Structure 1
Amino acid sequence: MDPLSDVLSLLKPRNYMSAGLDAGGAWAIQFPEQGLGIKTGAVVTGHCWLMVEDMEPVRLDEGDCFLLASGKSFWLGSDLAAPAMQASSVFWKSRNGGIVTHNGGGDCFIVSSRFALDGSDAGRLRRMLPPVVHIRGRPETAALRWPVERTMQELREPRAGGLLVLQQLAQMMLVEALRLHMAQGGERDGDSARGSEAGWLSALSDRQIGAAMTAIHADPPRRWTLQELAAQAGMSRSTFALKFREMVGETPMDYLTRWRMLLAADRLSRTSDPISQICISLGYESESAFSNAFKKTMGCAPRQYGRRLVQAAGGMEEGADALGGSLVG
């Protein structure tokens, strides 16, 4: 698979709610922290403002889409000066999706989807995505408009099998939003990741660094050298090492090790494969070398990892229950 598919496969995003908000007049809604999840949304008609904690406000016009992966609280409203209502007081009657009409409706219609992340190391993996993505409605975003419009139709005219259709459309919206962000080069303008410096997705969209990352993901057990990865990028070794670190935030060899350990963690979480088999499949001849790398990257030895997963799973369930009442939060 390609690197984006690899990461999303380990994140295991599971859409558990898609909804619509039909707002009118002067309005504003404050949403709580999102916990370990991802939120996508699109303005179908009208316009509004989006404010994410510790970030500058962003105006969302008709056709604009957004993706929130930081887990921070956020605010949606018609006017930056409008007094905000808590999301729980707006959506308390619609815990299971559908369309909510607020303040009479008619001025701004938003469709949105929320994803829980079922991957064993979703927290680490989510940090590979930009915290906020803003994509303006332009002709080149037609691939994203289609699932948005279909979602609106399914919400307005519920039919048999609608839940499954909404889940598939939500997955399409998530992937298309990330694709468009990559196509735009991850630039820090009004069309992309507000508050996001150079990061994983921006590096992946870079022709040279992206080529090296794709090579790593295509063959993680290979004994890659810095020179071989630089050749994949078509760069000198020193220039490649500097640019990779600037864009990704770590050295190429550290990235390779971290990706291997994330793959190992996924195997440990969903299979009963022995550690000796996992380490060989990821290019390690010595189980002790693999265990040392795993502990350095993941914070515990492979044999301790399962116990931590059980504890983390309990905390995630509590967080999901606490957030369950907010329709478009």
Structure 2
Amino acid sequence: MDPLSDILSVLKLRSYVSGGFDASGEWAVHFGSHEGIKFHAVVTGECWVAVDCEAPVKVKAGECFLLARGKPVRLASNMAAEPISLQFLLPPTHDGRIVTYNKGGEFLSIGGYFTLADGQADMLLNVLPPFIHIRNEPSRATIRWCVERMRQELCDPQPGDFVVAQQLATMVLVEALRLHLSARDRDEVGWLFALGDERMRAALSAMHASPGSPWTLQLMAKKAGMSRTTFATRFKEKVGLSPMEYMTRWRMILAADRLTNSTETLSEIGHSLGYNSEKSFGTAFKRVMNYPPRQYAKL
């Protein structure tokens, strides 16, 4: 798999479509703090979005946005309107379908959220801003198609509709991350943004494809088609870690996942990740994860 797919897999990404909001007239809805990543896609109409104390941003039909830092957010037709908590609008038997306010008909959005594995979520969340606005442009056709299909699944229940909606939501997230990457500020630092650099992506892909190989700086630089010194400098600038620091961290994230979700022994895990002894593996694991492997497995 490629690095982004690898990381999303280890983070145990799970998507949930929580439903839609259909409104008319003047309205404002408040969403409290949350875990993981939330997304909203505007199907018809437009709204203002204000994250925490930041200035509001107008989001129009065909556009969507991600909320990656768990901060409270307000959606409104008019920012001067008194906000209502979404919980007050949900009927007692809400089933994840469309919630209507003021009879609806003028504004419709589809929303959902993504959960990530405990302990490793920061690997993704720390490289994302609190608010990512994906605007309506021809290149956003994939997102528009996914959102329209989600709307159909919510409005016209069919067998398996929940699973279909989940998969569509995951496609929206991956496409949004791709678009954010392509439109990024060149000065942003992190593994996600390094994927936008062809040479860094080649090195990262090779490292992820074979985490147990006896990697050296020279071998990594060769994968990137660069000299060792230039590669080391460029990698640190783009990723924020040295190549060997990144490789060790990725190995320990894989090890943490196996400790929690497999029956492999410490020796087997360490050997598969390039460590010749259980002791050397345990030392590296504790340095990166702050716990010895056996203790981590019991958390």
Query: Out of 250, 258, 262, which is 1:259 matched to?
Result: 250
Displacement of 1:55: 4.1
Deviation, 1:16, is 3.4
Residue 198 of structure 1 corresponds to 189
Q: Distance in 1 between matches of 2:230 and 2:91?
A: 55
Distance 2:92 2:120 in 1: 30
How big is the shift at 1:185? 4.3
Rounded to whole Å, the distance in 2 between the matches of 1:181 and 1:34 is 21
Residue 125 of structure 1 deviates from its aligned partner by: 3.1
Q: Which residue of 1 aligns with 2:222?
A: 231
| Cα distance in 2, alignment partners of residues 197 and 275 from structure 1 | 36
Work out whether residues 120 and 269 of structure 1, in 8 Å CA contact, stay in contact via their aligned partners in 2. Answer: no
Deviation of 1:2 after TM superposition, in Å, equals: 0.5
1:240 equivalent in structure 2: 231
Q: Which residue of 2 aligns with 1:5?
A: 5
Distance 1:262 1:57 in 2: 37
The answer to whether the 8 Å contact 1:185/1:206 transfers is no
Structure 1 segments unaligned to the other structure (5+ residues)? 189-195, 309-329
1:94–1:100 Cα contact (<8 Å) kept: no
The residue matched to 1:42 in structure 2 has which SS? strand
What is the aligned counterpart of 1:218 among 209, 220, 232?
Answer: 209
TM-score by structure 2 length?
A: 0.92
CA distance in 2, matches of 1:246, 1:52: 29
Partners of 1:121 and 1:262 within 8 A in 2: no
After superposition, where does 1:164-313 map in structure 2 within 5 Å?
A: 164-182=163-181, 184-187=182-185, 197-308=188-299
Unmatched 5+ stretches in structure 2: none
2:49 and 2:56 in contact (8 A); partners too = yes
Per-residue displacement from partner, 1:196-238 (whole Å, max 9, x unpaired)? Answer: 9432211112222222211211111122222222232233333
| Aligned positions, number | 298
Q: CA RMSD in A?
A: 2.1
Residue 316 of structure 1 is matched in structure 2 by none
In structure 2, relative to structure 1, the CA distance for the partners of 1:149 and 1:52 (3 Å cut) is: same
Moved more, 299-308 or 235-244: 235-244
Q: Distance in 1 between matches of 2:101 and 2:191?
A: 38
- Give the aligned partner of residue 140 of structure 2: 141
* Shift of residue 116, structure 1, vs aligned partner: 2.3
The answer for the alignment partner of 2:58 in structure 1 is 59
Counterpart of 2:121 in 1: which secondary structure? helix
CA contact (8 A) 2:22 2:98 kept: yes
1:268 Cα deviation after fit: 0.6
Q: Could you tell me which amino acid in structure 1 is paired with residue 143 of structure 2? A: L
> What does residue 89 of structure 1 align with?
88
How far 1:83 sits from its partner (Å)?
2.2
Q: 1:280 to 1:211 in 2, by over 3 A?
A: same
Give the whole-Å Cα distance in 1 for the aligned partners of 2:154 and 2:2: 32
- What is the rounded CA distance, in whole Å, between the counterparts of 1:284 and 1:116 in structure 2? 31
Name the CA distance, whole Å, in 1 between partners of 2:108 and 2:240: 38
Secondary structure class of the residue paired with 2:115 = strand
Q: Which has the higher contact order (CA 8 A, sep 6+)?
A: 1
- Equivalent residue for 2:124, pick from 120, 123, 126: 126
Contact persistence 2:267–2:278 (CA under 8 A): yes
Identity %: 49
Q: How far apart, CA to CA, are the structure 2 residues paired with 1:108 and 1:92?
A: 19
- Helix, strand or coil: the match of 2:98? strand
1:128–1:200 contact (8 Å) kept in structure 2: no
For residues 233 and 203 of structure 1, what CA distance do their matches in structure 2 show? 12
Distance between the aligned counterparts of 2:107 and 2:9, measured in 1? 34
Per-residue CA deviation, residues 50-98 of structure 1 (Å, 9 max, x unaligned), is 2223544332111112122212222211233332212222225464300
Is the alpha carbon distance of 1:95 and 1:187 closer, same or farther for their aligned partners in structure 2, counting shifts above 3 Å? farther
